[in-house]
Structure 1
Amino acid sequence: MVRLLVKQGAEVKVVMTAAAKDFVSPLVLSTLSKNEVLSDMFAENTWANHVQLGRWADVMLIAPLSCNTLAKMANGQCNNLLLSVYLSATCPVIAAPAMDEDMWHHATTARNIATLKNDGVAIIQPGNGELASGLFGDGRMEEPEYIVSALQHFFQKIIAHY
């Protein structure tokens, strides 16, 4: 997804949670985005970045949105850089959930998604397919091409409005 966004001319800044580093290397995302990957709230040069990033971005895309981060966002928790940027964001926020089927269909997840929607977060509904656990079902993050297309559509609507 980062590669596709950069190819479309987007300037991408990646903020990773500690758990995200278990799935993909920050070096890979730094190379693809051509920007330093941020993850530590208290790193020497990133202390105020959560405010700067929240004001810099034209849109904040959270993809994949884990069940854990979803719950924290819905409850206003702020214990990492990603959540700090989210709570500081002055731009639209779009999230693409990704989790196992049972988690996706849980009543708590539905409540948390409803809370985010009520707070103005646009949700790209997950699809059906192979999940990180190896199971198949609902909860698979939409394909990167679909998410990039949704972002293009989002910006086309803004341009058409002006």
Structure 2
Amino acid sequence: MLKDKNIILGVTASIAAYKAATLVRLLVKEGANVKVIMTTYAKEFISPVTMATLSKNTVLSDFFKHDDGTWNSHVDLGIWADLLVIAPTTANTMAKMAHGICDNLLLTTYLSAKCPVMHAPAMDLDMFKHPATIRNMDILRSYGDLFIEPSSGELASGLHGKGRMEEPDLIVKEIIGFFESKKKN
């Protein structure tokens, strides 16, 4: 169902970033063309080499390459994509998206995207249920963004509760379901 679909996977700075590797692998296995945009701090959690190898594309992070000046156009990326998936989406990234702050390549691509946007939040339970996070999610929903609710369980903090990024296979099922419903309409 994802054959030849162009998907941008945005990876933000969360311990759940390790799940993004499996997500990329599954999307590519389903036939999707995947480009990965990682925030600077996401690269502290998972290697761009891993993501590039699995996606079969260079990982994008900066607006331009410092050694030769090649520009990574957020506008071109926003036009290319059939879907922008941010997994994991942190509270910080949601807050910036909700309020139009674009201080990295992922955020400027988000603001330029002509395609639907899907979030898979990941954060500690208190962050997830904080009124600011809830308000920012409501703002993003009002823009038409879609959410894959996090699951409950043991969190990186050692606490138990809602905030775990959903498992990659379930995210892929949601993505397939999204395209199937879009095809029917």
TM-score, scaled relative to structure 1? 0.96
Q: How many residues align?
A: 160
What is the aligned-residue identity percentage?
56
Q: Report the equivalent of 2:154.
A: 130
Structure 2 partner of 1:75: 99
Q: Which residue is 2:57 aligned to?
A: 35
Encode CA deviations 1:60-95: one digit per residue, 9 max, x unaligned.
Answer: 000000111011001100000000100000000011
**1-structure distance, mates of 2:107, 2:158:** 28
1:139 correspondence with 2:170: no
Q: Which residue of 2 aligns with 1:58?
A: 82
Deviation at 1:136, TM superposition (A): 2.2
Which of the two has greater strand per residue? 2
Instruction: Look up the match of 1:46.
Output: 71
Note the alpha carbon deviations across 1:129-151, whole angstroms, 9 max, x for none: 22232332111111101100000
Moved segments of 4+, more than 4 Å: none
Name the structure 2 match of 1:3.
25
Structure 1, unmatched stretches of 5+, are none
What letter is aligned with 1:85? T
Q: Counterpart of 1:14 in 2: which secondary structure?
A: strand
Contiguous gaps of at least 5 residues in structure 2: 1-22
Distance 2:153 2:45 in 1: 18
Q: So what's the TM-score if we normalise by structure 2? A: 0.84
Residue in structure 2 matched with residue 115 of structure 1 by the alignment: 139
The counterpart of 1:25, out of the listed 35, 39, 47, is 47
Code of the residue aligned with 1:45 in structure 2: it is T
Distance 1:103 1:138 in 2: 10
Aligned-residue Cα RMSD (Å) equals 0.9
